[in-house]
Structure 1
Amino acid sequence: MANLLNGITAAMRHLGARSEVIASNIANADTPGFKARTLREPDFGALVNGRSGGPQRPMVQVTSRMAELGAGKRGAERGVVDRTITETKPDGNNVTLEQQLLAMGEVQADYATLTSLYRKQMGLLKTALGGRGG
């Protein structure tokens, strides 16, 4: 049960970080040369099976050009360049608002699912503790 709760916690943290990266992408949709970022999916199977100390946050080296474009600010150090985006505007920016909004919708749906799982697990724990104590 603890591994499940740890997995839910790690997944919620990942979703929070992912929503920050998506928000940064949306905020920079008109910034020339900005490249959309994403987070690598953590290996939650390894977390649940005890093979890992938890998901690892990817590290990004901020170049001087990236710093000029605003990288290094809160949330900007999170993520890696999203290689799945195929459309690039003439100014070098590859953020597609439709893709970012779809990604944010996925984050919201996943968060709702994890919240429901968490509530159910807490309900089971309360039932188990209440059954022993009373």
Structure 2
Amino acid sequence: MFYDLNVFKSAYAMATHAGQRQAVIARNMANADTPGYQPRDIEAFQKAFENSGREVAMTATRAGHLNGFSSPKPWAEFETTPSGDPNGNGVSVEEEMLKGVEAKRQHDRALAIYKSSMNILRSSLGRA
């Protein structure tokens, strides 16, 4: 009866997306002084998961990790538009900080959806 609930899949996918975006942003900030480095980003959550029939499976970050799949991520990573830095580096630390805050808010939103759904599920079972 209470198996395969899409709200939990969506919350998991949103949190995973936010975590992956935070990793990309952190890589951009780590390379802020690397000559010729161009910042990257991943596509928006809504665009990546607008196909509601998509299955969300665990993925492995290294061989044998969590017995997950090493398949490509369901979102596309792309280069953002470069700024005019003299050394050819396109990273703006200020922009990356704002993107990081946005990713944290998305992750917090996913956790709030998950917690709220758990509370509703517990209430429906008569447990508070």
TM range (shorter): 0.7 to 0.9
Of 47, 50, 58, 1:45 maps to 50
1: CA distance between counterparts of 2:25 and 2:8? 25
- Is the CA contact (8 Å cut-off) linking 1:34 and 1:94 kept in structure 2? yes
What is the Cα deviation at residue 53 of structure 1?
A: 3.3
What is the count of residue pairs matched by the alignment? 106
Where does residue 6 of structure 1 map in the other structure? 9
Where does residue 80 of structure 1 map in the other structure? 78
Residue type of the alignment partner of 1:24: R
Where does residue 29 of structure 1 map in the other structure? 32
What is the Cα deviation at residue 4 of structure 1?
A: 1.5
**What percentage of aligned pairs have identical amino acids?**
29
RMSD: 1.9
What is the Cα deviation at residue 41 of structure 1?
A: 2.2
Residue type of the alignment partner of 2:74: Q
Where does residue 65 of structure 2 map in the other structure? none
Unaligned runs of 5+ in 1: 59-78
Q: Which has the higher helix share?
A: 1
What is the Cα deviation at residue 22 of structure 1?
A: 0.2
Of 17, 21, 36, 1:18 maps to 21
- Is the CA contact (8 Å cut-off) linking 2:38 and 2:82 kept in structure 1? no
1:56 to 2:74 alignment = yes
What is the Cα deviation at residue 80 of structure 1?
A: 1.9
1: CA distance between counterparts of 2:87 and 2:32? 11
SS of the counterpart of 2:90?
coil
What is the Cα deviation at residue 86 of structure 1?
A: 4.6
TM, length-normalised to structure 2: 0.74
SS of the counterpart of 2:33?
coil
Equivalences for 1:46-125 in 2 at 5 Å? 46-47=51-52, 50=53, 52-54=54-56, 56-58=74-76, 79-82=77-80, 85-125=81-121
What is the Cα deviation at residue 56 of structure 1?
A: 1.0
Unaligned runs of 5+ in 2: 57-72
TM, length-normalised to structure 1: 0.71
Regions of 4+ moved over 2 Å: 41-45, 52-55
